[in-house]
């Protein structure tokens, strides 16, 4: 059989050399017939079990060119684009960025009060638009936070603007539910943790939680090495499938691995049926202490819990708290779960938030530029309560932080180290299941990172 195929191939080659024009004409004729032929080939089988072979031939006749052109002309082209709201947005530059050229839509956005908030620079907004081939607007959709703080983690506002069919525009406003998605990510440290997570496309909140999860094992200020790697599994809230640009806690870390100087650190988020949670190792041992070491993600201590010369009164006094230097507007978070005891102005402290953590422990956050909580509100560890400022008796922007037990001032740094880590009440079986799932997901996250780096 092989010898026969070799002879046939040799004869075909000689024929092509002697009659190149005839061969080309034959090929053209076969193509001109627009015939498509499919051949079924059976693999060798045992005697008596041969598969019948069939040859199916079907002529494909294309539409005439003029009919194809008419169909193409009748097809309606649409342009879809998305963008995030900017501080300098106007009706003109917003629609221009979305690829829309529609004077009527611009005029409506300028004058109509019902859509005025779409251009509110103080509001985090997400936009998507559909336009036809000439740039006329078919639909504009804006998404931004729910009007009530209590709904920020569950809902968002959706505003849809469309032509009304009479030369004008109609607007529909809806309160829609946020959806949760689990995502994977990984990266390599070349400079800083936040730079690496930015390069990996991860939310800042994930970087913050990553540093919190391994705070007792890795000094993220002094012990990072170029080439350190991380892999994360996180949950993010989405509005119509797009990760939201508001709510700093939207990217919640579920599991993580950090390789620091060759040492592997792994952890996961454990929560009970009520939503209460804490960090634990994959061995089920708790990682997170009862109180965070600092009320800010990354900061520097400018004045500790000790005697010092008061910067304004110029007298030697006991400093009954810790001062952290940071720019105005830096987020301040509560170091533990509790209830807001006070939120307002207190003489030399300026804007102040006081939180009662239990019957005997309380914390105070002073000189804030803004207060984001109100008296009686329940807060969770790590939740934003205000921002760094220089209100009251302050020589510059900083946070003054105090920790009290039964009204007596304590060193906050020592309290954070001394508190015991705890986990929500979950069974050992549940911890083992969570750890197994975390290992599988982290392996997938590492694989994603490896593929993206190739």
Q: Is residue 14 part of a domain?
A: no
Q: How many independent structural domains does the chain possess?
A: 3
Half-sphere exposure of 87 (CA within 13 A, CB side): 0
Percent of the chain predicted with pLDDT > 70: 78
25 pLDDT exceeds 60? Answer: no
At 64, the pLDDT band (50, 70, 90 cuts) reads confident
CATH number at residue 381: 2.70.70.10
Q: Please tell me whether residues 283 and 366 are part of one structural domain.
A: no
199 pLDDT exceeds 80? Answer: yes
pLDDT of the residue at 21: 45
> Could you tell me the residue range of the domain that residue 85 belongs to?
78-177
- Give the end of a domain, one of 158, 177, 196: 177
Across 151-165, 206-220, 279-293, the highest mean pLDDT is recorded for: 151-165
What does pTM read for this prediction? 0.56
Q: Please tell me whether residues 168 and 242 are part of one structural domain.
A: no
At 418, the pLDDT band (50, 70, 90 cuts) reads low
pLDDT of the residue at 46: 46
344 pLDDT exceeds 80? Answer: yes
pLDDT of the residue at 242: 87
CA distances from 328 to 346, 388, 391 (A): 19, 5, 10
19 pLDDT exceeds 70? Answer: no
Q: Is residue 392 part of a domain?
A: yes
Residues 6+ apart with CB under 8 A from 270: 277, 278, 279, 280, 423, 424, 426, 431, 434
Q: Where do we find the tokens 């390599």? A: 188
Nearest-angstrom CA–CA distance, 366 and 386: 10
Q: Please tell me whether residues 141 and 230 are part of one structural domain.
A: no
pLDDT of the residue at 98: 94
Do 102 and 135 touch, CB atoms closer than 8 A? yes
Q: Please tell me whether residues 360 and 271 are part of one structural domain.
A: no
Rg for the chain (alpha carbons), in Å?
33
pLDDT of the residue at 20: 47
pLDDT of the residue at 40: 33
Residues in the chain: 454
Q: Is residue 322 part of a domain?
A: yes
Q: Please tell me whether residues 124 and 222 are part of one structural domain.
A: no
Per-residue model confidence as pLDDT tens digits over 376-404? 999 988 889 999 999 988 888 999 999 98
- Give the end of a domain, one of 137, 156, 177: 177
pLDDT of the residue at 44: 41
Q: Is residue 127 part of a domain?
A: yes
Mean pLDDT of 343-351: 92
Q: Cβ of 160: how many Cβ atoms within 10 Å?
A: 14
pLDDT of the residue at 26: 45
Q: Is residue 61 part of a domain?
A: no
- Give the end of a domain, one of 115, 146, 177: 177
If you average pLDDT over every residue of the chain, what do you get? 80
Nearest-angstrom CA–CA distance, 112 and 60: 55
Report the first-to-last Cα separation within the chain, whole angstroms: 46
Per-residue model confidence as pLDDT tens digits over 115-150? 888 888 888 999 999 999 889 999 999 999 998 878
Sequence-distant contacts of 445-451: CB under 8 A, at least 24 apart: 445/184, 445/185, 445/186, 445/231, 445/232, 445/233, 445/257, 446/186, 446/231, 446/257, 448/184, 448/185, 448/186, 449/185, 449/186, 449/187, 449/188, 449/200, 449/229, 449/231
Q: Is residue 41 part of a domain?
A: no
Q: Please tell me whether residues 191 and 232 are part of one structural domain.
A: yes
Q: Please tell me whether residues 210 and 250 are part of one structural domain.
A: yes
Mean pLDDT of 402-421: 76
Q: Please tell me whether residues 412 and 438 are part of one structural domain.
A: no
Q: Is residue 348 part of a domain?
A: yes
Do 268 and 279 touch, CB atoms closer than 8 A? yes
Q: Please tell me whether residues 170 and 251 are part of one structural domain.
A: no
Phi-psi group of 430: left, alpha or beta (phi > 0 → left; psi -120 to 50 → alpha; rest → beta): alpha
3-state secondary structure at position 18: helix
CATH number at residue 273: 3.10.450.350
Nearest-angstrom CA–CA distance, 111 and 158: 20
Per-residue model confidence as pLDDT tens digits over 215-253? 878 878 778 899 999 999 998 889 998 888 887 556 789
When comparing pLDDT for 420 and 282, which is higher?
282
Q: Please tell me whether residues 373 and 403 are part of one structural domain.
A: yes
Q: Is residue 59 part of a domain?
A: no
pLDDT of the residue at 376: 94
Q: Please tell me whether residues 153 and 232 are part of one structural domain.
A: no
At 275, the pLDDT band (50, 70, 90 cuts) reads low
Q: Please tell me whether residues 193 and 281 are part of one structural domain.
A: yes
pLDDT of the residue at 22: 45
């Amino acid at each position: 059989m092989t010898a026969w195929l070799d002879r046939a191939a040799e004869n075909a080659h000689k024929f092509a050399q002697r009659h190149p024009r005839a061969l080309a004409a034959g090929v053209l004729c076969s193509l001109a017939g627009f015939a498509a032929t499919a051949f079924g080939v059976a693999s060798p089988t045992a005697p008596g079990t041969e598969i019948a072979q069939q040859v199916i031939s079907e002529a494909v006749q294309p539409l005439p060119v003029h009919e194809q052109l008419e169909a193409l002309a009748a097809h309606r082209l649409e342009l879809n684009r998305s963008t995030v709201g900017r501080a300098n947005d106007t009706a003109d530059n917003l629609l221009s960025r979305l690829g829309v050229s529609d004077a009527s839509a611009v005029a409506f956005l300028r004058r109509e009060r019902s859509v005025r908030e779409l251009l509110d620079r103080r509001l985090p907004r997400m936009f998507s638009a559909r336009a036809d081939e000439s740039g006329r607007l078919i639909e504009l959709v804006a998404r931004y936070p729910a009007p009530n703080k209590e709904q920020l983690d569950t809902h968002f506002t959706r505003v849809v603007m469309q032509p009304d069919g009479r030369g004008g525009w109609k607007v529909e406003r809806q309160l829609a539910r946020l959806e949760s998605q689990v995502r994977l990510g990984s990266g390599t440290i070349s400079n800083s943790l936040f730079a690496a997570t930015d390069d990996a496309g991860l939310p800042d909140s994930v970087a913050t939680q990553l540093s919190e999860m391994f705070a007792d094992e890795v000094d993220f200020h002094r012990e990072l090495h170029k080439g350190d790697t991380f892999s994360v599994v996180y949950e993010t809230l989405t509005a119509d499938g797009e990760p939201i640009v508001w709510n700093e806690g939207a990217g919640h870390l579920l599991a993580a691995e950090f390789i620091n100087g060759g040492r592997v650190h792994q952890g996961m988020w454990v929560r009970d049926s009520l939503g209460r949670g804490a960090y634990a190792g994959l061995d089920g041992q708790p990682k997170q202490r009862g109180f965070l070491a600092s009320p800010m993600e990354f900061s520097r201590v400018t004045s500790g819990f000790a005697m010092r010369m008061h910067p304004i009164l110029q007298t030697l006094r006991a400093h009954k708290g810790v001062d952290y230097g940071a720019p105005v507007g830096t987020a301040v978070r509560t170091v533990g779960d509790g209830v807001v005891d006070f939120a307002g102005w207190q003489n030399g402290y300026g804007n102040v938030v006081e939180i009662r953590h239990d019957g005997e422990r309380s914390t105070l956050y002073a000189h804030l530029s803004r207060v984001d909580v109100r008296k009686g509100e329940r807060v969770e560890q790590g939740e934003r309560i205000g921002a760094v400022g220089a209100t009251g008796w302050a020589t510059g922007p900083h946070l003054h932080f105090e920790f009290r037990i039964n009204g007596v001032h304590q060193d906050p740094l020592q309290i954070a180290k001394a508190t015991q880590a705890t986990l929500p009440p979950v069974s050992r079986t549940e911890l083992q299941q969570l750890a197994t799932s975390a290992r599988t997901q982290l392996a997938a996250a590492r694989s994603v990172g490896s593929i993206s780096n190739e």
